[in-house]
Amino acid sequence: MKKKFSQLIASAVAYFIIAAIILGVIAVIALLSGSVMRIFGFEYESVWHIILFFIITMIVGFPLELLAEGLPRALVSLGRARKNDATIFYVILDTLCTAAAMAITDYFMDSVTARDLSILVIAILFSLTSIKDFREKLEKE
CB 99 within 8 A of CB 30: no
Indicate the pLDDT class of residue 120, thresholds 50, 70 and 90: very high
112: β partners = 44
Whether this model's pTM surpasses 0.75: yes
Looking at residue 90, its pLDDT comes to 97
Q: Round to whole Å and give the CA distance between 11 and 98.
A: 35
Using DSSP's 3-state secondary structure scheme, residue 113 falls into: strand
pLDDT, tens digit (0-9, with 9 covering 90-100), for 46-65: 989 999 999 999 999 999 99
What is d(CA 39, CA 63) in angstroms, rounded to the nearest whole number? 29
Q: What is the CA radius of gyration of the chain?
A: 19
pLDDT at 99 > cutoff 90:
yes
pLDDT digit string (tens) for 30-51?
Answer: 989 988 898 898 998 898 999 9
Distance of CA 111 to the CA centre of its chain: 20
Write down the pLDDT at residue 4.
Answer: 83
Distance CA 42, CA 102 (A): 12
Element (H, E) at 43: strand 43-44
pLDDT above 90 for 17: yes
